Amino acid sequence: MKRLLIALILLASGSCEVLFAQNFFHYNYEVTRMPTGINSAENDYAPVLGSDGNTLYFTSYRSEGSIGEADLFSVSRSGPDWTRLFNSGTPINSKGNDGTVAMPANGSFVVFASEKRPGKIGDTDLHLAVADGGRFTDIRNLGESVNSKEWDSHPSLTADGSTLYFASDRNGGYGGTDIWVAKKIGQTQDGFPIWGNPENLGPVINTDEDERSPFISGDGSTLFFSSEGHDGFGGYDLFMSIKSVGDWKEVANLGSIINSSADEMFLFAPQDNKAFFFSSSRPGGSGKMDIFSGTPNIFGSGLFQVTVNVSDSANRPLPGVVFIVDRESGDTVATVVTDVGQKDYEINLPADRIYSVTGNVQGRKPITVELERGRAHETRRVALTFDNFTFAEFDLAKYNIPFFVTGYYRPNTSESLQELLELRDGKLKDAKYIERFAKGSQRHKEYVEYAKVIDQMLGTIYSTAVNDLFPRFAREAAPDEVLEIRVTGYTDPQPFIGTYYESEPVRFIDNAGIEYNLKKGSRITNLALSGLRAWYAAQQLDEMFEGAVKEGKGEYQTLKDAGRIRLVVVGGGPSNDLGSFETQRRIGITMVKAGGSTEFDMNNTEFK
């Protein structure tokens, strides 16, 4: 029978090295002991930040200002400092042990543990109290549906309050103390949750030793808890596990900065807060167990999954090393080693942060892409494609003319310019992002002259590819080699927002390999506009190359039918070149030979 709300165990002698699982992240946290006043000469633990973001609740065995053995206290934040320590008073505190509170995001109630209240069911029971302006009233036992005749404590709630996690040494577990979960099955007449029969979290989380102090992320997808059964640095360590498709996945130790050879318990990571909190009995503190804060708080917003692929242009895996860096903290938070036997590597990263992903392959120039803020539960893909052999590159920027009419996405050929004048009065009449100029005006005449140059450029690309590149590739390339035609679109850096009004669906990838799909009514940003430009330019090239059959030059069609031509459409986003805005509205065309063991020389074209 356990009569304390927290186990006070002897410190372990020595420590063991814990290797972080490759699909978890690691940070160089800065951990600081909270000031004297919060920490006392006794045990201070179970920190919880209130819904106002400025009130920290915790449990303490201190004698000064106490009502019972262990009481709930609070401290308020004023700027960077914590001041005004309060005992939370009766009725939440009693003559026995009370504390370890949990509360939903709206702060309307708390669940807490108490030992000696009338009507108790077991050694220690879970209770609900109504929260009102820092006061806790209307205490009610959660009843036999949740509590057992044993020890039930250490509650944690999801943000909506629908799911309750707690620790218990009841029968039916895997060890001494296990983590259990109860789900909401109804509500009381005054609107508070009723939770059903608890379920054990199973052997992935629970061991034949003790697991305690669960903390569930607000979205319910990440569980943090303390354990003396999983491999750690000594005593109780803090661990995490991710829920995927209804099951808890492999457990990861939070590392040697947070954990020590002593006991670490009660992690609390509030959303939208710079710091996380936990309790530790490590040496050098004010008392037996103290409260600590840590930064950066990368635990509070949940996690998202990133799939990393390192391959050549034939989509064959390459051996290499990928470094993922948190742009804000500067930490290299993940290192992924790739090989030829596996295509995809999964890594879980803290949500709502920006990362750079750099792939390194021997003998190739490193590739770095930026990974924008991911949302909790989201799945993102980063494809780092290393070109095997580039033998034709058509850089249209050097002609120093706009390849598109302002916010339009079809290449400004003579034919497209005429179509645009008609479309502006038809299905694109509401597209305010397309420049309006009268037929025959000076501006119209400028675009007519631009179009003539673009017609000539496309004609030269067509002639070079059809008469030289495609026949030579068909004749000399190895049977398993693929010709990748990569068309990349660009915008100028001016912020762009619009609507796609056409019925033709469009699909493209960005520089990180993430796929995007546009349909009628889709919102257009700079990235989407660059993808539209690449897609329509690629369609025009494809039609031109297929038309070569009429001239008796069918290599492109033959290669395409055999799956040896791959057309890749890339939205490059803003160009960010030093030229004028007009000339940054352009495309780039690269033809890459990928795969196989032989390479052959191609004469430089005038565009290379």
Supply the CATH number for residue 248's domain.
2.120.10.30
Is the pLDDT at 318 greater than 80? The verdict is yes
Residues 334 and 258 in one domain: no
Residue whose structure tokens are 């790739």: 338
276 is a domain residue:
yes
* Spatial separation of the C-alpha atoms in residues 351 and 376, rounded to whole Å: 5
Of 366, 386, 406, which marks where a domain is finished? 386
Of 358, 386, 414, which marks where a domain is finished? 386
Residues 99 and 230 in one domain: yes
Least confident of 21-30, 178-187, 544-553: 21-30
Give the helix, strand, coil percentages of the chain, each rounded to 5. 15, 40, 50
Residues 339 and 481 in one domain: no
- Report the number of distinct structural domains present in the chain: 3
Task: Please report which confidence band the pLDDT of residue 131 belongs to, taking 50, 70 and 90 as the band edges.
Answer: very high
Q: Which amino acid is located at 569 in the chain?
A: V
Is the pLDDT at 433 greater than 80? The verdict is no
186 is a domain residue:
yes
* Strand pairing report for 565-574 and 482-491: parallel
Q: What is the pLDDT of residues 568-601, one digit of tens each?
A: 999 988 886 656 777 777 888 888 776 543 333 3
190 is a domain residue:
yes
608 is a domain residue:
no
Mean pLDDT of 239-258: 90
Report the CATH number that the domain containing residue 357 is assigned in CATH. Answer: 2.60.40.2190
Residues 449 and 535 in one domain: yes
Task: Please report which confidence band the pLDDT of residue 229 belongs to, taking 50, 70 and 90 as the band edges.
Answer: very high
Of 300, 331, 363, which marks where a domain is finished? 300
Q: What is the pLDDT of residue 559?
A: 94
Per-chain mean pLDDT for the chain: 85
Angle of helix 442-464 versus helix 414-423 axis, rounded to 10: 140
Radius of gyration of the chain (CA): 31
Residue whose structure tokens are 């943090």: 224
Residues 311 and 296 in one domain: no
Least confident of 239-253, 263-277, 383-397: 383-397
Q: What is the pLDDT of residue 47?
A: 97
Residues 356 and 419 in one domain: no
Mean pLDDT of 427-452: 80
Is the pLDDT at 512 greater than 80? The verdict is no
Is the pLDDT at 16 greater than 60? The verdict is no
Residues 288 and 312 in one domain: no
Residues 223 and 336 in one domain: no
603 is a domain residue:
no
Q: What is the pLDDT of residues 339-377, one digit of tens each?
A: 877 889 999 999 999 999 999 987 678 999 999 888 888
Whole-number Cα distances in Å, 65 to 5, 35, 575: 19, 18, 64
Q: What is the pLDDT of residue 440?
A: 83
Residue 196 · residue 183 · CB < 8 Å = yes
Task: Please report which confidence band the pLDDT of residue 144 belongs to, taking 50, 70 and 90 as the band edges.
Answer: very high
Is the pLDDT at 541 greater than 90? The verdict is yes
Residues 335 and 244 in one domain: no
Residues 356 and 405 in one domain: no
| Residue 490, domain extent | 390-594
Residue 244 · residue 376 · CB < 8 Å = no
Residue 326 · residue 333 · CB < 8 Å = yes
Edge-to-edge strand list for the sheet holding 135-141: 98-102, 109-114, 125-132, 135-141
11 is a domain residue:
no
Least confident of 310-319, 328-337, 352-361, 497-506: 310-319
Residues 340 and 413 in one domain: no
The 3-state DSSP class for residue 527 equals: helix
Residues 230 and 342 in one domain: no
Angle of helix 442-464 versus helix 526-546 axis, rounded to 10: 50
462 is a domain residue:
yes
25 is a domain residue:
no
